[in-house]
Amino acid sequence: MIGALRPAAHRRGEAAEELAARFLAGRGLVVLARNYRTRLGEIDLVARDGETLVFVEVRARKWRAFGGAAGSVDAAKQRRIVAAARHYLGRLPAEPPCRFDVLTIQGQDGAPAWIRGAFDAA
């Protein structure tokens, strides 16, 4: 019953993140964390791709207006993700190679589109 009380957009976001996690796992990535939150920002998924640590932003949009799902990861959002990633990395004994990916789900029943190396920390 609790799940029914959450806004539909929140439930869609959770479903998109679950789909993204399964999609990436099916391609050999190991999901280490979901919804890593700090006061500086949030990372939807943290995964390992071989030796590389991957910070993944998941975006689902019904419509392509205003740049669609990929276009919604603007410079401000990227800065928040990078800040959260730095916080995550600060907990590790050594910093591994890292990458920032975006996984989009466009449309009502859209297939995931994986943008590897979508942006960098600079």
Enumerate residues 6+ apart whose C-beta is below 8 A from 84.
Answer: 36, 37, 38, 40, 41, 42, 43, 55
Res 85: pLDDT = 97
Q: 33-68 pLDDT, tens per residue?
A: 999 999 999 999 999 999 999 999 998 866 555 455
Res 1: pLDDT = 47
The residue type found at 82 is V
Of 8, 107, 11, nearest to 62 by C-alpha is 107
Res 50: pLDDT = 97
Residue boundaries of the structural domains of the chain: 2-119
Enumerate residues 6+ apart whose C-beta is below 8 A from 13.
Answer: 58, 60
CATH code of domain 2-119: 3.40.1350.10
Res 2: pLDDT = 53
pTM of the shown model: 0.86
Of all residues in the chain, the percent with pLDDT exceeding 70 is: 80
pLDDT band, residue 110 (cuts 50/70/90): confident
